[in-house]
Amino acid sequence: MSSGRSDIAQTVIASASKAIALSLLGFVLAYWTWAWCAPSPLPRAMEIPAPPAHLAAAGNLFGVVQGDAHADAPTGLAVKLLGVIAGQPEGSGYALLQLDARETRVVRAGGDLAPGIHVERVLPQRVILQRNGSRETLVWPHPAQTPATTPDNPAR
């Protein structure tokens, strides 16, 4: 009877080892299938560094925009200049303007921004508005602080 028990024990051990081997094979196949066929992860967002200080010194490399004698009064309107596309001849183009922090509009030079407000000229650094017959200037907002313009490396 001992040979009957040893046959059963051998059968159980053989079946258990086959089950373990097939399970391990399944895990290995699943791992490599996922490794080869899985979607690639999204790239990390790159942190945008601040511009180096020596670049700020090159701001007026090609000269400074001369003032316009016709428009010297800043505007008192709740209009913010967001962008310009200045064209040729000078004064033509489009301006991206924000009205009262709730509405954004693109207005062509010569067009009306709102009732009583006419966009007269679009220049690279400012927009000249005409409100009820008086000219007003809308300029780019100035940053709170300007970076230091000291060179990082002395001249060689």
Angle CA(63)–CA(67)–CA(70) in degrees, nearest 5?
155
Fold that domain 74-139 belongs to in CATH = SH3 type barrels. (2.30.30)
Residue 50 has pLDDT above 70, yes or no: no
Task: Kindly report, residue by residue over 109-129, the tens digit of the pLDDT.
Answer: 888 888 888 888 888 888 888
Residue with tokens 């009820």: 132
Percent of the chain whose predicted confidence (pLDDT) is above 90: 16
Q: Quickly list H helices, the chain.
A: 2-37, 53-56
Position 57 scores a pLDDT of 62
Position 27 scores a pLDDT of 96
Q: What is the mean pLDDT of the chain?
A: 76
What CA dihedral angle connects 45, 141, 108 and 76, to 10 degrees?
140
Q: What is the DSSP string of 108-153?
A: ETTSEEETTEEEEEE-SSEEEEEETTEEEEEEPPPPS-PPP---SS
Report field, pTM of the whole predicted structure over 0.95: no
